[in-house]
Structure 1
Amino acid sequence: MAGSGEHIKALVRSHASGDEDSFYAVASQIAARAARQGHNRLASDLKRTIDASRRAPVATKGSVTSLAQPRGDLADLVTASYPSVGLRDLVGPSPLLGQVHRVIAEQRQRHRLQERGFAPAHRLLLEGPPGTGKTLTASVLAHELSLPLLTVRLESLLSKFLGETASKLRTVFDAVESQRAVYLFDEFDALGGDRSGNDVGEARRILNSFLVFLENTGPESLVVAATNHRAILDRALFRRFDLVITYGLPDHEHATAVMQARLGPLAKHVDWQLVIELVDGLSHAELVQAAETAAKQALMRDDEHVTAADLVDALRVRQTASRA
């Protein structure tokens, strides 16, 4: 690599801070260093890339920096994160995992699909009980596609900006079009609930605005809506999504897989037959919490392996809490 470690660190720092001039200055230094070392083709390619990027329209520049640090109105509406969980962390039935794999595959080949007149799946509705992996799926999509996850603050949209919600939604969807990312509308029923009763004023206008914005989104970003209450969603919503993925409580096989995935080598000697009857009714999140509790108990007594008894105790606590 022609650039030194210091050059690379300087590039990252200038990119993260949004200092475009410094970024290009460091890139030019790398090109010059490549030329001095006799890497003439690399130096020439770098210079052409730098010149072309400087001439690019402003709207295409700095999008990653903007996503890392949302500014202006967008900063009040979204929270940015860069998830580290991948497909290996997502446990579920084969049909559900197949749908997630499909979305990732279509996004990775979106340009090829678009060249032939097809749009990749990019508007997703995730529905199912709390703690079953909906938010985790959004994180997995972001990680696997190397995109930021922008979680929309629905409480701000619906309370802080009461009376301005439709215009704030436009701000979010403008970002959807200009800045590639995964945009998560969590607890979406707060926005998309059926308003066919007496509440037909501002709430209806908000929902109608969302439907229009959603239908007009392009395939560069993913819009993911997650809800615990499919039954109360306005029926007009479902046909606007490219894919509806349904989540449920894990069966015995998947419950075991969830705990094994979280425990890793710590679960090497667990007799799962002694544990399995206690997983009924527990969500993905509750099983992870039980596994973590068992792991901490084992580690605090200086044991390198979790026992079935550790998991039984932890699962009983979760069962009691879930019934409270």
Structure 2
Amino acid sequence: MAGLGEHITAMVRSHAAGDDAAFYSVALQVAAREARSGHHVLAGDIRKAIDASRQTMPSANVTRLDQPRGDLADLVETTHPEVSLRDLVAPAELIGHIKQVIAEQRQRHTLLEHGFAPAHRLLLEGPPGTGKTMTASVLASELGLAMYTVRLDGLLSKYMGETAGKLRLVFDAVAQRRGVYLFDEFDALGANRTGNDVGEARRILNSFLVFLEQASPESIVVAATNHRSILDRALFRRFDAVLTYDLPDPRQAVSVIRSRLGSLATGLSLARLSGATLGLSHADLVKAAEAAAKSALMRGAASVTRDDLTAALTLRRQASIG
């Protein structure tokens, strides 16, 4: 965990650079540190001072930190998702877990004042196209944050021998720049390995775990993988929550299709489609619905027919199998 001296240094640097958001983020970390040490009155005073300063500070002085600069810009892709939790089709239990993460983040100041960290380190695992990336987008959108996507496979191949140092840059940003940080294709880093690369891979993984352990609760770190079975089992206990994603059941499949078609689904019966949707992911169903919609629109129809949808689903299954 960063020492008080490091926090003060970071605050001075952010103040000198005019990065008000970074200054307040570090100040909140100091408050959280004091709360964990039992200094609740001091922690409360720091937070009150921050809130008062934010209310009186002209909005023109706020520096937007959404777009990374320098080396960090080469490591992450920045997006500003606009997707709500209502758009995510998933089992009720999974939706409940996501709601809990959002609620804890919204109440993070209260939790931190009493020495408790909100859930901020998540591992999402499941087949491709089942909603893992969308979940990170939902978290960012619901909390009004930017999403920073780290492509681990590219980072490992492009910066071989420098990966640990590059990871440190990303986790420095986690502490200084509040956001949702998605480490996509996490299995590129966390897989059990054999052969000549095992030593280097282990060093990189150990570095990641150290950085993850120290990650600021002001941001959310999301690791997504399609291959839970090949991950090092020691990884799972390092996360605050492990969320599992599966292919949609028939009811969820219908919900995904109807949501994507919108008004074009008027009068369309989606009953008894389970055979046509079996084995398709959420992403596959969206693509099939889009293909059916385009077919209908190009022939001048006001809505999609069952034949449009069945044909599109069949083609999508063939494509996914191939």
Which interval holds the TM-score relative to the shorter structure?
0.7 to 0.9
Q: Hey, what does 1:200 align to over in structure 2? A: 198
Deviation of 1:301 (Å): 1.6
Q: Give the counterpart letter for 2:199 in structure 1.
A: G
Q: Deviations 1:64-107 (Å, cap 9, x if unpaired)?
A: x332x211110110010001111121001111111111111111
Whether the 8 Å CA contact 1:274–1:308 is kept in 2: the answer is no
Q: Hey, what does 2:312 align to over in structure 1? A: 314
Whether the 8 Å CA contact 1:194–1:232 is kept in 2: the answer is yes
Secondary structure of 1:201's counterpart equals: helix
Q: Which runs of 4+ in 1 moved over 4 A?
A: 45-48, 51-54
Secondary structure of 2:275's counterpart equals: helix
Given the superposition, is the C-alpha separation of residues 178 and 19 from structure 1 closer, same or farther in structure 2, using an over 3 Å criterion? closer
1:160 to 142, 154, 158: 158
Alpha-carbon distance between aligned partners in 1 of 2:153 and 2:162, rounded to the nearest angstrom: 13
1:233 to 214, 231, 234: 231
Q: Hey, what does 2:273 align to over in structure 1? A: 275
Alpha-carbon distance between aligned partners in 2 of 1:84 and 1:51, rounded to the nearest angstrom: 26
Alpha-carbon distance between aligned partners in 2 of 1:138 and 1:279, rounded to the nearest angstrom: 25
1:118 to 116, 119, 134: 116
Alpha-carbon distance between aligned partners in 1 of 2:262 and 2:243, rounded to the nearest angstrom: 28
Q: Give the counterpart letter for 2:227 in structure 1.
A: H
Whether the 8 Å CA contact 2:152–2:189 is kept in 1: the answer is yes
Q: Hey, what does 2:56 align to over in structure 1? A: 49
Larger gyration radius, structure 1 or structure 2: 1
Q: Deviations 1:207-260 (Å, cap 9, x if unpaired)?
A: 000000001112100000000000111111100000000000000000001111
Secondary structure of 1:203's counterpart equals: helix
Q: Counterparts in 2 of 1:61-76, with a 5 A limit?
A: 62=63, 65-67=64-66, 69-76=67-74
Q: Counterparts in 2 of 1:87-98, with a 5 A limit?
A: 87-98=85-96
Whether the 8 Å CA contact 1:275–1:308 is kept in 2: the answer is no
Deviation of 1:155 (Å): 3.4
Task: Extract unaligned runs of 5+ from structure 2.
Answer: 1-16, 20-51
Deviates more, 1:204-213 or 1:159-168: 159-168
Alpha-carbon distance between aligned partners in 1 of 2:229 and 2:109, rounded to the nearest angstrom: 36
Whether the 8 Å CA contact 2:250–2:273 is kept in 1: the answer is no
Deviates more, 1:85-94 or 1:222-231: 85-94
Q: Hey, what does 1:182 align to over in structure 2? A: 180
Given the superposition, is the C-alpha separation of residues 76 and 267 from structure 1 closer, same or farther in structure 2, using an over 3 Å criterion? same
Given the superposition, is the C-alpha separation of residues 76 and 48 from structure 1 closer, same or farther in structure 2, using an over 3 Å criterion? closer
Whether the 8 Å CA contact 2:153–2:185 is kept in 1: the answer is no
Q: Hey, what does 1:4 align to over in structure 2? A: none
Alpha-carbon distance between aligned partners in 2 of 1:153 and 1:309, rounded to the nearest angstrom: 39
Given the superposition, is the C-alpha separation of residues 116 and 225 from structure 1 closer, same or farther in structure 2, using an over 3 Å criterion? same
Given the superposition, is the C-alpha separation of residues 205 and 301 from structure 1 closer, same or farther in structure 2, using an over 3 Å criterion? same
Is it true that 1:224 corresponds to 2:222 in the alignment?
Answer: yes
Whether the 8 Å CA contact 2:264–2:304 is kept in 1: the answer is yes
Q: Hey, what does 1:100 align to over in structure 2? A: 98
Q: Hey, what does 1:140 align to over in structure 2? A: 138
2:147 to 146, 149, 152: 149
Q: Deviations 1:162-192 (Å, cap 9, x if unpaired)?
A: 1111011000000000100000000100011
Q: Deviations 1:2-53 (Å, cap 9, x if unpaired)?
A: xxxxxxxxxxxxxxxx998xxxxxxxxxxxxxxxxxxxxxxxx999823899
Given the superposition, is the C-alpha separation of residues 202 and 137 from structure 1 closer, same or farther in structure 2, using an over 3 Å criterion? same
Deviation of 1:153 (Å): 2.7
Whether the 8 Å CA contact 2:151–2:185 is kept in 1: the answer is no
Q: State percent identity of aligned pairs.
A: 63
Q: So what's the TM-score if we normalise by structure 2?
A: 0.80
Given the superposition, is the C-alpha separation of residues 112 and 196 from structure 1 closer, same or farther in structure 2, using an over 3 Å criterion? farther
Task: Extract unaligned runs of 5+ from structure 1.
Answer: 1-17, 21-44, 55-60
Whether the 8 Å CA contact 2:83–2:138 is kept in 1: the answer is yes
Alpha-carbon distance between aligned partners in 1 of 2:181 and 2:101, rounded to the nearest angstrom: 14
Q: Deviations 1:275-319 (Å, cap 9, x if unpaired)?
A: 332000000000000011111111112222111111101001011
Name the count of aligned residue pairs: 274
Whether the 8 Å CA contact 2:175–2:219 is kept in 1: the answer is yes
Is it true that 1:246 corresponds to 2:244 in the alignment?
Answer: yes
